[in-house]
Amino acid sequence: MDRRALLGLAAVAVTAKPAAASSGGGSAPALPSYTRLPTVTANMRRPGGQMGVMTVEVGVDTPDAALRTRVAQSAPRLRAAYAAVVQEAATVLLPGAPPDLERLVAQLQAATDRTLGRRGARLLIGTVLVV
């Protein structure tokens, strides 16, 4: 099968799903409490002195609707705070050593609380990749 045709079918299926979901019964769908943020990257040293990259997928779970709005409004500030934390973690990471995920999550959660000005939003971490 032609891959371009397959991609075209996938694009039609993806764009058709939200329209079908929003036309059901006139009621607005409930907003999810999860907000996914762009992947955060930082430079680091690999074994042998070469440059490497550390990437971290992050999201925020916010059950409170008012705080969820604040998360959406503060997304650029959250990304900046997360970038600073990940860059620090990548800087202190020894070449060839795995990152300390417990410490990284604790620091990212503290950055979340500090940026939003209060607790209540829970940081969720996805893949942490060091290459």
The percent of residues above 90 in pLDDT, for the chain, comes to: 67
Does the pLDDT of residue 19 top 50, yes or no?
no
pLDDT in tens, 40-80: 999 998 888 889 999 999 999 999 999 999 999 999 999 99
Question: DSSP H helical segments within the chain, as ranges?
Answer: 3-22, 65-73, 75-92, 101-116
Q: What is the mean pLDDT of the chain?
A: 83
CA distance 22 to 118: 33
- Helix axes 101-116 and 75-92, enclosed angle (nearest 10): 150
Tokens of 121: 């939003």
- Which domains occur in the chain, in start order? 31-130 (3.30.479)
Query: Quick one: pLDDT at residue 29?
Result: 57
105 and 85 Cβ atoms separated by less than 8 Å: no
- C-alpha distances in angstroms, 97 versus 44, 60, 91, 108, 110? 11, 27, 12, 20, 24
Q: Is the pLDDT of residue 10 over 70?
A: no
Helix 65-73 crosses helix 75-92 at what angle (to 10 degrees)?
70
The pTM for the full model equals 0.74
The model's confidence at residue 32, banded by pLDDT at 50, 70 and 90, is confident
* Of residues 59, 63, 62, 68, the one with CA closest to residue 38: 59
Residue 27, pLDDT score = 55
